[in-house]
Chain A
Amino acid sequence: MNNRRTFQKLFVLAVVLYYLLPIAAIALASMTTSWSDKGLPEAFGLSGYINFWQTAEFRRSLWVSLSIAPVVVLLTIVTVVPAAYGIHLSSSRALKGAADAVMIFPLCVPALILAVGLLQTYGSKPVVLTGTIWIIALGHVVLASPYMYRSVSANLQALDTTTLIEAARSCGASPARSFVSVVAPNLGPGITSGSLLAFTTSFGEYQLAKMVSGFRFQTFPMKIWEAARREVQVQFAMSFIAVAIAFAAFLAITLIFLKSDIKEESVIV
């Protein structure tokens, strides 16, 4: 019995170390200013972070990503929340089945293939969108939509929507009105967590942004990749900033779930 317990603990420890050691290595490398010829850290300092902040193009890429992400969040809320609500309300099997199929699209088409299609469709007339932040944002909305959908439908399932809607309707509200002023305000936890997941999805996304940005916009992950070719220390400093931002968003999600009835693992997967 005791052996088994120890084995289980060692197994858990091994997985946790496997998860966390690469992040620890990034933190270590971001603060290492000189490496011994054996490849181990020798001297420490914050020049990676300082160089990052003093280089305008690196700093700008952070703002680019930090301004695309809120646009993505907003567009995801506007498109996905009503859809999740409509599907939740529906008693028709056909609509539920169709909606199911629709929600699965983003799974079948990986970000890279999405980018390949967007590049060829909106890269030439009549509609030219490549090289704008809009095309990056639209692509990210599709990638983020399953997270928002799951967050909000988990939230809807925890609500007594029938009573809420009946109350609103009996006071004379239209279906749209009862959704906006009665149901939506109760979806706070679902929308917030979906938004944070959409934010991290957009903030860390590399492949789609790189293909459709047309070099006019360089997002943060694109600049991390570029820094890797020029200044290793800046590369790791930027990587660690990305980890910190993703981690902060993620902690916020966890706190929201702890305070609500929604199960965290039902949203992640």
Chain B
Amino acid sequence: MRIKTKELFFVLPLAFLLVVVVIIPFVRIVTGSLETASIVGLGNYVTAFTSGAVLRSIRNSLYLSFWSSILGGVLGFFFALAISRTRGRARNILITVNSLPLTLSGVVVAYGFLALYGGSGVYNGLIRSLGAPASLHVDIRSLTGLVFVYLIYQIPLMTALVLSAIFALDPHVEEAARSVGAGRIRVIASILLPQLWPAVLAGFFLLFINTFGAYATAFALTGTGVNLIVLRIVSQFSDVGYDPGVANALSVLVVVIDTVFVILYRLALGRNQRSRA
């Protein structure tokens, strides 16, 4: 009904912005990753993939994203289920509370967890003053600590995704199942999960993307105490370990891994929900 060029005209400003701010800089990263001193080649990638410390940082980053996405995904799924079973005002309050962490600055989140669970934070202070065993002390500035902290982004994201999928379901199916005597676990296993699993799977991939390139919280919380790929990229742009070629190569790696997960995310979302970016 409409000529294509007119629609293109509306998309032009955004396309221009993305070319200037995303595509040109990314091309610069790719070309930078191929420059070693004076030669052009894959030297930076060889340097990166033969360094034990770099390989460990990749493994740590994958570990952090994977486990925070799995745990956040499972907890978020059940949290969404619990919210959907709540009625009236309480439900609206829970939905609001659930979105709150998503608006917080990464730096602020890091300092909140430090104040609470840091070495001299409230939790460890209480443990000391109560004379509780030292095994109850927590070290938030560790890889496991980071998994725990990242859940504050992962749980609400999965909850919101699953919740919108639940609201799109036909409630009559569940009512029918209950009326013929299906128990709660049976309802979850044979009615809710088969309908919700595309959303849950898509959610897992989105959660993974959400944390793999995240920097602010990890940096504010641990400095460079935990060896993560993002922290390594930044330190290679500073004076001490200056090596922009390798940093560019690692940046390309992050984008490639994120892109793989974005494709998986889109596939899991399916065609009927394609309008959601």
Q: Which residues of A contact B (CB under 8 A)?
A: 4, 8, 11-12, 15-16, 18-23, 25-26, 28-29, 35-36, 38-40, 75, 78-80, 82-83, 85-87, 89-92, 95-96, 99-100, 102-114, 116-122, 138-139, 141-142, 145-146, 149-150, 153, 157, 175-176, 179, 197, 200, 203-207, 211, 221, 224-225, 228, 235-236, 239, 242-243, 246-247, 249-251, 254, 258, 263-266, 268-269
Contacts and interface: CB of A to CB of B under 8 A. Distances in A.
- Going nearest first, the 6 A-B pairs with the smallest beta carbon separation are A110-B213, A117-B25, A204-B105, A86-B10, A39-B125, A22-B112
A139 B122 CA distance: 37
Given A16-B97, A120-B244, A268-B102, A4 B79 contact: no
B234 to A, nearest CB: 7
Given A39-B122, A250-B103, A263-B167, A138 B21 contact: yes
Interface residues on B, range: 35 or more
Mostly, the A contact residues are: helix
B26 A117 contact: yes
Interface string B97-114: 111111111111101110
A139 to B, nearest CB: 6
A29 B277 CA distance: 39
B216 A221 contact: yes
B267 interface: no
A203 B105 contact: yes
B169 interface: no
B32 to A, nearest CB: 6
Nearest to B277: A103
A19 B113 CA distance: 10
Interface of B: 1-2, 4, 6-11, 13-18, 20-26, 28-29, 32, 75, 78-79, 82-83, 85-86, 92, 94-109, 111-113, 115-116, 120-122, 124-126, 128-129, 151-152, 155-157, 160-161, 163-164, 167, 184, 206, 209, 212-216, 219-220, 230, 233-234, 237, 244, 247-248, 251, 254-255, 258-259, 262, 265-266, 274-277
